[in-house]
C-alpha cells in the first residue's frame, strides 16, 4: 500500500488569505484525489488530479478557489484561496490502489484547517 504524507498537518489562517497543502506519495501513481471533510461528516471529493493534465473539479468546486498542481507522479498541491470561515475543514488527499483500482484508495493523514 502507498504511504502518503501531507503538509501542514494543521493550520489556523485569517480570512482572505490562502493556504497551500502538499501531498507526497512514496510511489508513482496516476491519479490523486483531493477531498474535504467537515468534522463528523462524510468525505466530499473536490477534484481529481492527473499528472500532465488539468485537474477535474466536482460540482460546486472551481479552479479559482481550489487551484491544484500535479507536477509529477508522486506529488500534488491544493491551494485554498481567499479563505473564509466556511472553508474550515479537514482536507485529505488520496491515491488509487496499487493495481489502479478505483475502489481501494489510500489516504493521507489530512490537513486540519481553521479559518478565523
Partner 1 sequence: GQSLEQPSEVTAVEGAIVQINCTYQTSGFYGLSWYQQHDGGAPTFLSYNALDGLEETGRFSSFLSRSDSYGYLLLQELQMKDSASYFCAVPDSSYKLIFGSGTRLLVRP
Minimum distance from residue 89 beta carbon to partner 1 (Å): 14
Residue 50 backbone dihedrals phi, psi, to 5 degrees: -105, 140
* Cell 512514496 sits on residue: 26
SS3 state at 18: coil
SS3 state at 46: strand
The strand pairing partners of 4, in sequence order, are 25
Minimum distance from residue 30 beta carbon to partner 1 (Å): 9
Instruction: Return the number of the residue (44 or 81) whose C-beta is nearest partner 1.
Output: 44
Instruction: Return the number of the residue (14 or 53) whose C-beta is nearest partner 1.
Output: 53
Instruction: Return the number of the residue (86 or 103) whose C-beta is nearest partner 1.
Output: 103
Q: Which residues bind partner 1 (CB under 8 A)?
A: 31, 33, 40-45, 48, 56, 58, 92, 94, 96-97, 101-110
Minimum distance from residue 68 beta carbon to partner 1 (Å): 15
Query: Using alpha carbons only, what angle is made at residue 78 by residues 19 and 90, rounded to the nearest 5 degrees?
Result: 75
The strand pairing partners of 69, in sequence order, are 77
Instruction: Return the number of the residue (40 or 52) whose C-beta is nearest partner 1.
Output: 40
Amino acid at each position: 500500500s502507498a504511504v502518503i504524507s501531507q503538509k501542514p498537518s494543521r493550520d489556523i489562517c485569517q480570512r482572505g488569505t490562502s493556504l497551500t497543502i502538499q501531498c507526497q506519495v512514496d510511489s508513482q501513481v496516476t491519479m490523486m484525489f483531493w477531498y474535504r471533510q467537515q468534522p463528523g461528516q462524510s468525505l466530499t471529493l473536490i477534484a481529481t488530479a492527473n499528472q500532465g493534465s488539468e485537474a477535474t473539479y466536482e460540482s460546486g468546486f472551481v479552479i479559482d478557489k481550489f487551484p491544484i498542481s500535479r507536477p509529477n507522479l508522486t506529488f500534488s498541491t491544493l491551494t485554498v484561496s481567499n479563505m473564509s470561515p466556511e472553508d474550515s475543514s479537514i482536507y485529505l488527499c488520496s491515491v488509487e490502489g496499487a493495481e489502479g483500482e478505483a475502489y481501494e484508495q489510500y489516504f493521507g493523514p489530512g490537513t486540519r484547517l481553521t479559518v478565523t
